[in-house]
Structure 1
Amino acid sequence: MFPTLSPLRGVLVAFAAYAVFAFSDASIKILDGAIPSYQVAFIGSIFGLVVLPMIKSRDDSWLDIVQTSNRMLWALRFVCGAIGAIASIITFTMLPMAEAFCLLFLLPSFVTILSVIFLKEDVRWQRWTAVVVGFIGVLIVLRPGFRELSAGHLAAAVGGLSAAISIVILRAMGPAEKRISLYGAGLLGTLIVSGLLMLSDIAVPTPREWLFMASYGILGAIGNVLLMTAARFAPANLVAPPQYSQMIWAIAFGYLIFDDTIDFPMTAGIVLIICSGLLTLARERKRGTPLPAAVVSVDNQASVSATAELAEPSFDGLEHPTAE
């Protein structure tokens, strides 16, 4: 029996999910690079296995994890899952949390550009305006020429682009592709690629490092479950916007735990990037542009890489609109 749509409950659960993801990201930051990023990604993907039974429907078989209607796109999602997971971990390790989120929140702009190039979507001036506003916000935050850029900034760009490619893949493959296959591609990509990278350099974690790696993986799994629950209660256009509440958590963690500071230009850039993302969501909602079908994140960046809307039948027998 499927739950009756309850938008307020769905939004509240979404806020809880993104709070849990923020705590998971803080666990990465606390590790401070003591454990290689691919080893942390491997641990996260192990916990990602916990979500599989919740994605698998009655008509699915476990072999559907590796079966697909388009092997090339499935393989591309496999690669993007691994790259995105590792890049996001490097980002949170090297950058202040607020800065990391503000760069990763460029995702809607990347999706718009890639959708025009590969899906030939008709994008009007309002969405292009949102893209321009987002990139202006990034320039204000980064201030190239006035501050030194690091590998963390590159990792953020790579992570956001990988997530955007994954979303375009979800759109291209369409609602007929099974969720367990879409999720399995990213999960297996992260598990296998990070596992292979670990073979050359396996760090032996201390008990404290084990604690925070477990926190990263467990909280990520819990966040995914909460996000799927939120998507059952409310349409995706209501579940997606609360992801920007992670910026509040990032600023709080940065101030209370990591001694991060945010100056006026960074604040202005963050505001522009968030406005860009919300404007894109509003335009896609108004035009009825379908965002990708419900697939939770295989790393802990569900807010960035796959804001979930599950195509579960609602209580009235209709399906929710698909969305990112």
Structure 2
Amino acid sequence: MFKGVLLGFACYAAYAISDAFVKSLHGTLPAYEAVFFGAVLMLSALPFIRNPDDRYVDVFRAKKPHLWWIRAITGAICNISAVIAFTALPMAEAFALIFLLPIFVTLLSVIFLKEHVGWRRWSAVIVGFIGVLVVLRPGFRALGVGHLAAMTCGLSGAVSVVALRMAGPHEKRISLYGAGVIGPLVSGGLLMAPGFVWPDLHQWFLLAGYGLLAGLAGVLLMLATHHAPANRIAPTQYSQMLWAILFGYWLFGDRLDWPMLIGIALILGSGLFTLVREERVTGWWKRTRMV
């Protein structure tokens, strides 16, 4: 259990460093181009994700193809919007809005999975949205495409999670991972083709760090869930906020005021409560593999 949790922290540290690499591009490349090359490099994780009896064609094949397509499409939207968000916003602010994902999962589960949500989880949803208002402060500060992109990332990620829950525990890991890579790869490639900009050496270095570290994170997450239940690994993703605050201050000169810190705390607290409460009420972690 302890080893699994440590691997979970290592996984999300790798994800956070990957995000710092893509933020370092400062928008010098289109977001979809960064997503394309990142997805190409993430394919390097496939030999480690693959079980001995898996075939590489299983990347494109699933028992429930419509859910594979939903995950591929939402993966493309999530990746492109995340790159836009990290380019346009301080890292901690981007993460705070992306971490609306568990709250969106609760709302979507009521609509599509007909799950019962008690007053505790509804309270967490309300607190989370209050946190969003505190972070954004509409009418008191300028809002831009980065804020919309971060919330789009959280919503599309939530749709992907609900699709994963509907797929159940029977899909192969390589198929679940593949949907999240092939979608960004194809969409990024199609969008970048008309106005392709060839990266320079420094940009190649940043793209390599972005893609390879994301692939490494996928492998670490797989190893983590071999040693500990997924419901013990999931809360470690919130450690990304600490990395975001550190990298934002140290590398990018980000400054967070007190209202934003309070809003971030409200969003993170409601998200963590939602994760814990959903595991107790629905037990869906026991039914679904985590990727």
TM-score (norm 2): 0.95
1:176 to 165, 170, 178: 170
1:111 to 105, 115, 125: 105
CA distance in 2, matches of 1:79, 1:228: 22
Kept in 1: contact 2:49–2:174 (CA 8 A): yes
CA distance in 1, matches of 2:233, 2:69: 28
1:167 maps to 161
2:205 aligned partner, one-letter code: L
2:180 to 181, 186, 201: 186
Higher RCO (C-alpha 8 Å, min separation 6)? 2
1:273 maps to 267
2:180 aligned partner, one-letter code: G
1:60 maps to 54
> Is 1:293 the equivalent of 2:288?
yes
1:142 to 136, 158, 172: 136
Post-superposition offset of 1:216: 0.6
CA distance in 2, matches of 1:179, 1:227: 12
Post-superposition offset of 1:68: 2.2
> Is 1:80 the equivalent of 2:74?
yes
1:84 aligned partner, one-letter code: C
Kept in 2: contact 1:138–1:273 (CA 8 A): yes
> Is 1:255 the equivalent of 2:249?
yes
2:122 maps to 128
CA distance in 1, matches of 2:59, 2:248: 38
Post-superposition offset of 1:287: 2.4
Distance 1:223 1:71, change over 3 A: closer
Post-superposition offset of 1:233: 1.2
Kept in 2: contact 1:97–1:251 (CA 8 A): yes
Post-superposition offset of 1:46: 0.8
CA distance in 1, matches of 2:119, 2:283: 15
Structure 2 spans left out of the alignment, 5+ residues = none
Cα displacement string for residues 274-302 of structure 1 (whole angstroms, at most 9, x for unaligned residues):
11011112212322521473353xxxxxx
- Large movers: runs of 4+ above 4 Å: none
> Is 1:156 the equivalent of 2:144?
no
Please give the secondary structure, in 2, of the residue aligned with 1:174.
helix
2:26 maps to 32
2:127 aligned partner, one-letter code: V
Kept in 2: contact 1:78–1:185 (CA 8 A): yes
> Is 1:204 the equivalent of 2:206?
no
Two-structure CA RMSD over aligned residues (Å): 1.4
2:88 maps to 94
1:233 maps to 227
Kept in 1: contact 2:169–2:289 (CA 8 A): no
CA distance in 1, matches of 2:175, 2:13: 27
CA distance in 1, matches of 2:6, 2:217: 13
2:55 aligned partner, one-letter code: S
2:258 to 261, 264, 267: 264
CA distance in 2, matches of 1:244, 1:136: 19
Please give the secondary structure, in 1, of the residue aligned with 2:170.
coil
